[in-house]
Amino acid sequence: MKNKRHKLTIHELAADLALSPGTVSKILNDKGSVTEATRKRVLDRAKALGYVASHSARILKAEHTWTIGVVFSDIAAFGLEHPFFGSIIQAFKNYIEDQGYEMVFIPKKIGEQEQTYLQWALNKSVDGVLLLTGDINAIDIQELIRADIPCVSVDMVDKGLATVISDDHQGIELIFKHFIQLGFQRIYAFSGSIFSRAYQQRTEAFETLTFQFKTDRPKESYFTTDKYGVKHYYEQALLWIQSWQHKPQAIIAFSDDIAMGLIMALKELGYRVPEDISVSGYDDIQFASLFSPPLTTIRQDKKRIAETAAIKLLNMIENQNEPKGLTTVPVQLIVRHSTKRIK
């Protein structure tokens, strides 16, 4: 073993114990689940060898900083309470912490100091970056994903980026076929902003299915403006409903909060859901089952998305041959009371 003047790295300590650096890191930072015997062996050996388990020592001496940066461009103005991305980030945080990493947010401005995402990532010496949400065409996002820092996204899609998302085509197909089985032919779509990647893909899937099943196709899918929130979708739905030339039998809303705003507007204008019009959502947020009526929706596996993204990012950090590109996660149709068969 090294002489007393040498400050051990976490990798040397792990090699001495015949354990992985991640396991040793978890124990030294009191994170994750390990056996009490293993924990005691690591702590006793670290003490005997004089290992300094401070964060600064890890940064200076270890191969990694054991830090993952998160870029969260909150375009929906929900903050960390966002019904979808809030769950993603919590599951991602749980997974990487179990592997001995910690998570920090990468801002664009602290106090009076403003820098690009890449500059902040370099200043914080992060090992990798999770791109939670944002505009893929933004200059600072493109700068970050073209740099040498490993990046993974759970929303944005780019040929130079590893991305993990739900299978949106499968989701819309499951709802559409559900409506066909209920006997519907006049099926409309109600979407959020056209600038959203998810809404674009769901619209493409919807239009493909209307052609495939030769249903009564509306002139176009309805897109709201680039604002978000149930109140906004309710206001947009009021305008849309009053412009109908023909009443739909069913409507696929491209998110649960869109569906909630839509149902509120339908009720205000005298329509019953599902007796007059069936409505489905997408996401299966926590409130979907508590809404009136409880929403038929598509359940996205948020935990699987987050953990798959974490695994890909950690593999990229460890210099494994981890491919970039798109990984899709299956979704599930959840049938509740907002949809009903034609009598």
* Structure-token pair, residue 42: 């690591």
Q: What is the pLDDT of residue 218?
A: 58
CATH fold of the domain at 168-300: Rossmann fold (3.40.50)
Q: Start-end ranges of CATH 3.40.50.2300 in the chain?
A: 67-165+302-329, 168-300
Q: Taking residues 145-167, report their average pLDDT.
A: 93
Q: How far apart are CA 321 and CA 330, in angstroms?
A: 24
pLDDT digits (tens, 9 = 90+) for 4-58: 345 567 778 888 888 887 788 778 777 667 888 888 888 888 877 766 554 444 4
pTM summary value: 0.76
Percent of the chain with pLDDT over 70: 86
Q: Taking residues 137-143, report their average pLDDT.
A: 90
For residues 74 and 108, the answer to whether their CB atoms sit within 8 Å is no
CATH superfamily ID and name for 67-165+302-329 = Response regulator (3.40.50.2300)
Q: Start-end ranges of CATH 1.10.260.40 in the chain?
A: 10-61
CATH code for residues 10-61: 1.10.260.40
Please spell the DSSP secondary structure of 51-99, one letter per residue. ----HHHHHHHSSS--EEEEEE--TTS-GGG-TTHHHHHHHHHHHHHHT
**Among residues 6, 29, 5, 28, which one has the least CA distance to residue 17?**
28
- Amino acid in the structure at residue 266: L
- CB 95: neighbour CB atoms within 10 A? 19
pLDDT at 193 over 60: yes
* Structure-token pair, residue 111: 């106090």
Residue of higher predicted confidence among 75 and 128: 128
For residues 280 and 250, the answer to whether their CB atoms sit within 8 Å is yes
- Amino acid in the structure at residue 88: I
* Structure-token pair, residue 77: 């103005």
- Nearest-5° Cα angle at 56, 51 to 60: 80
pLDDT digits (tens, 9 = 90+) for 64-92: 788 999 998 754 444 455 667 888 999 99
For residues 204 and 220, the answer to whether their CB atoms sit within 8 Å is no
- CB 52: neighbour CB atoms within 10 A? 13
Q: What is the DSSP letter of 289?
A: G
Which residues share a beta bridge with 105? 70
Helix count and strand count (H, E) for the chain: 12, 14
